[in-house]
Amino acid sequence: MLNLVSDPPNGRWSYQKRLIDDGRQIIFAPLGTLARGTVNAFLLTWKGRVIPVTASVREYQDERGQRYLVFSHVNLNGAGVETAYGIAAFSFTSRQERAEAGKIAVECVLAFAKLAQGFKAIMAAGDHALSEFLPETAQQIQRGLE
């Protein structure tokens, strides 16, 4: 289970808020934003792998005033992370490893928006909702976080 942890600032890579799942060996931490704030950059550490993640995001408010973060794409080894933060892309050994990391990344992005930022987070509908990951996966993860 992903748990939110808050740490005091301490150097360049000390994240004030991050998600940790000891059982699955996951640490998920924000790095900052890219592309004028429309893309969030994260660092996923999973079983010794260090994987940069990007998520395209926009804020939405419905007619009742409920605020949402709407994610349209979640990408592993997202463009710009190496340039902006000096973190190299991860080389996956198989499609299965990449698919599993992608599911974890989507889960973490949605959970971080909810737990750390207080937003209801949703994945945008459509064929490209998760880039290479299936939209059904996001829907299952989203239902699990509600």
CA distances from 136 to 89, 94, 126, 132, 133 (A): 26, 21, 11, 12, 9
Write down the pLDDT at residue 127.
Answer: 34
Q: Which of 10-19, 41-50, 67-76, 97-106 has the lowest mean pLDDT?
A: 10-19
* Mean pLDDT value of segment 113-122: 77
Write down the pLDDT at residue 11.
Answer: 56
Number of structural domains the chain divides into: 1
Write down the pLDDT at residue 128.
Answer: 36
Domain that holds residue 75: 3-145
d(CA 91, CA 77): 9
Q: What is the pTM of this model?
A: 0.78
Mean pLDDT, the chain, integer: 78
Write down the pLDDT at residue 81.
Answer: 83
Write down the pLDDT at residue 126.
Answer: 42
Query: Does residue 98 register a pLDDT over 80?
Result: yes
Query: Does residue 59 register a pLDDT over 90?
Result: no
Q: Which of 2-6, 63-67, 82-86, 139-143 has the lowest mean pLDDT?
A: 139-143
Write down the pLDDT at residue 146.
Answer: 52
Residue-wise pLDDT for 12-37, tens only, equals: 555 578 899 999 999 999 888 887 77
Query: Does residue 132 register a pLDDT over 90?
Result: no
Which residue, among 18, 15, 25, has the nearest Cα to 3 in the 3D structure? Answer: 18
